[in-house]
Amino acid sequence: MEIKKLQELLSFLSINSPTKIQELCFNPILKGKCVIGLSPTGTGKTLAFVLPMLLNIEDEKRLTQCLILTPTRELGAQIFQVISQAMEKIPEFKSKNIILRTLFGGIPKANQAEEIAKNPHIIVGTPGRVLDLLQNNNMNVKNLKLFALDEADIMVGMGFSEQILSIHEYLKSELQTVLFSATRNEKCLSIENSLFGKNEPLFLNAYENKENEKKDCLQISHQFVKCSLNDRFQTLVSLINEIKNTDDGQVIIFCHTKENVADLAKTLQNSGYHAEPLTGDLGTVERSTVMRHFKSGHLKYLVATNIAARGIDVIKLSAVVHYDIPYTAEDYTHKSGRTGRGDASSGISISICYEKNTSYYLSLMKQLGIDPKEKTLEKKFANNKKMNSEVIKFEKIYLNRGKQDKIRPGDILGAFIKDLKFEKEDIGGIFIFNHFSHIEINQSKKKSILNKSFSIKNLAVKIKEVLN
């Protein structure tokens, strides 16, 4: 009976059948059981607890009933979107008056405290900001019915264990707790013991066996390419040029540190590639803009740290490239899991290896039970200069219209092609802010349109240089 109910709810979201983790978790969570859910990245873990959670919300009681912790703002925003879509599209939830709020860093605490004082039914937040508001008595969790931790392994890996346990001290002991993760290690086990205590959780494993857990998604093709350390960037260029000619050509490139991310993104931009960095240093608006453009396909190359990219959910991502080899098996699993998601038929995870780390990479693959294929690049480095010279170099321009004018990326793209005689390839990212927009255009065409006036949606538009 419960599975039929799950299928009915999913049908309103245009999902034909539940995933294994959703089937396993729906009934126990609906009945108030504590759960530890283990499932590969991209298998719908969020809906596994969101749907029964929404069914159990008593909307007539204006009390905070559910608290969801997530490691990053990006993942929190993704969870917020999943919940919002369910409340909008599923009639049973649409008829409820459920209030949902988020608690992330980068937003004034006073504003958040004011919203939380109104006792929203559901709060989605990052550990640091949630704990901050609890310690300042801005948050009432006495009536909490559900405590959910999504991507628990990542939260633990980011060093949030102490904050999570401190939050837990504010909660009542007899509380339904659900924890979801793609991997499970000793650090996770330690925090599980503290969180659940006497509340014996159900361990629900959606991996068919241990080998599948290590491989994450079986449809992913694992490849590596050897080069010298000095040729690493040239190798990356050859890889993305090859990928560019297949599928949609979108790629996430992983580096260990935010400094490496910034440097690599800048080098790619200077070489004519439409790339942007994604790190924790970006402001909330800028990070959201970068992610939105990558998900929409306007941005082709995203250079990121592992944590920053956890909120990215692109169904047909062509490939992920490990510019730096991941430190651990869990790290590799999470990063590679960005590709081959959902209904995608395939995904590619490519590692760039040089002399000193090739043996380490092969050892990591052996640990994961993966037999990677060595990739031979067809294009030689001697041709890279020529290849780069053929790539369009983009430069940002300023346009004096934005969101308040109800301008959309498609409106800008259409006007540039029709009125300014641009080709589609001459336009890169389109970044729309409240009162203005930034557009990346072919550098060679910039002078011809500067200070030129034309119209978009019958609104007069002016173009200027972006002042750095």
pLDDT number for residue 210: 46
Is residue 66 over pLDDT 70? Answer: yes
- Give Cβ neighbours of residue 109 (< 8 Å, ≥ 6 apart): 129, 132, 133, 136, 138
The CATH number given to whatever domain includes residue 440 is 3.30.70.330
Residue 186: phi, psi to the nearest 5?
-60, -35
Spatial contact of 311 and 294, defined as CB atoms under 8 Å apart? no
pLDDT tens column, 427-466: 877 777 778 888 888 888 888 888 777 889 889 998 888 7
User: 67 and 6 in one domain?
Assistant: yes
- Give Cβ neighbours of residue 254 (< 8 Å, ≥ 6 apart): 304, 305, 306, 309, 320, 321, 322, 323, 324, 326, 335
pLDDT number for residue 70: 93
User: 223 and 178 in one domain?
Assistant: no
User: 201 and 219 in one domain?
Assistant: no
User: 360 and 225 in one domain?
Assistant: yes
The segment with the largest mean pLDDT, out of 5-14, 121-130, 216-225, is: 121-130
The CATH number given to whatever domain includes residue 196 is 3.40.50.300
Domain extent, residue 168, equals 2-207
Map tokens 């837990």 to a residue: 168
User: 224 and 158 in one domain?
Assistant: no
378 band by pLDDT with thresholds 50, 70 and 90: low
User: 260 and 188 in one domain?
Assistant: no
Measured over the CA atoms of residue 80, residue 87, residue 43 and residue 12, the dihedral's sign is: negative
Q: Please name the amino acid found at residue 228.
A: S
Of the residues 174, 207, 240, the one at which a domain ends: 207
Q: What is the mean pLDDT of residues 271-275?
A: 87
pLDDT number for residue 174: 85
For the stretch 405-410, contacts whose Cβ atoms lie closer than 8 Å and that sit 24 or more positions apart, written own/partner, are 405/457, 405/459, 406/457, 407/432, 407/437, 407/456, 407/457, 407/459, 408/432, 409/296, 409/298
SS3 at position 71: coil
Of the residues 207, 239, 257, the one at which a domain ends: 207
User: 405 and 271 in one domain?
Assistant: no
Of the residues 354, 369, 388, the one at which a domain ends: 388
pLDDT number for residue 202: 94
Looking at the 3D structure of the chain, how many domains does it have?
3
User: 407 and 346 in one domain?
Assistant: no
User: 414 and 294 in one domain?
Assistant: no
Q: Please name the amino acid found at residue 293.
A: H
- Smallest CA-to-CA distance from 43 within 233, 182, 200 is with 182
Distance separating alpha carbons of residues 74 and 263, to the nearest angstrom: 22
- Smallest CA-to-CA distance from 367 within 181, 183, 180, 157 is with 183
User: 111 and 47 in one domain?
Assistant: yes
Kindly report the average pLDDT of the chain as a whole number. 83
Distance separating alpha carbons of residues 227 and 113, to the nearest angstrom: 53
User: 190 and 306 in one domain?
Assistant: no
User: 272 and 340 in one domain?
Assistant: yes
